[in-house]
Amino acid sequence: MLTRINHIGIAVRSLDESLSFYRDNLGMAFAGIEEVAEQKVRVAMLQVGESKIELLEPTSEDSPVAKFLEKNGPGIHHLAYEVEDIEAAIARLLADGARMIDERPRTGAHGTRIAFVHPKSSNGVLTELCQSGC
Ligand code: CMX
What CATH number corresponds to the domain at position 22?
Answer: 3.10.180.10
Q: What is the pLDDT of residue 1?
A: 78
Among 68, 76, 114, 125, residue to substitute to test ligand 1 (most atoms within 8 Å of Cβ): 68
Number of structural domains, the chain? 1
Q: How far is the CA of 120 from the centre of ligand 1 (A)?
A: 9
- Per-residue pLDDT tens over the stretch 65-110: 999 999 999 999 999 999 999 999 999 999 999 999 999 999 877 7
Q: Tell me the three-class secondary structure of the chain, residue by residue.
A: CEEEEEEEEEECCCHHHHHHHHHHHCCCEEEEEEEEHHHCEEEEEEEECCEEEEEEEECCCCCHHHHHHHHHCCEEEEEEEEECCHHHHHHHHHHCCCCECCCCCEECHHHCEEEEECHHHCCCCCEEEEECCC
**Model confidence at 3, in pLDDT bands (50, 70, 90)?**
confident
Q: How far is the CA of 115 from the centre of ligand 1 (A)?
A: 13
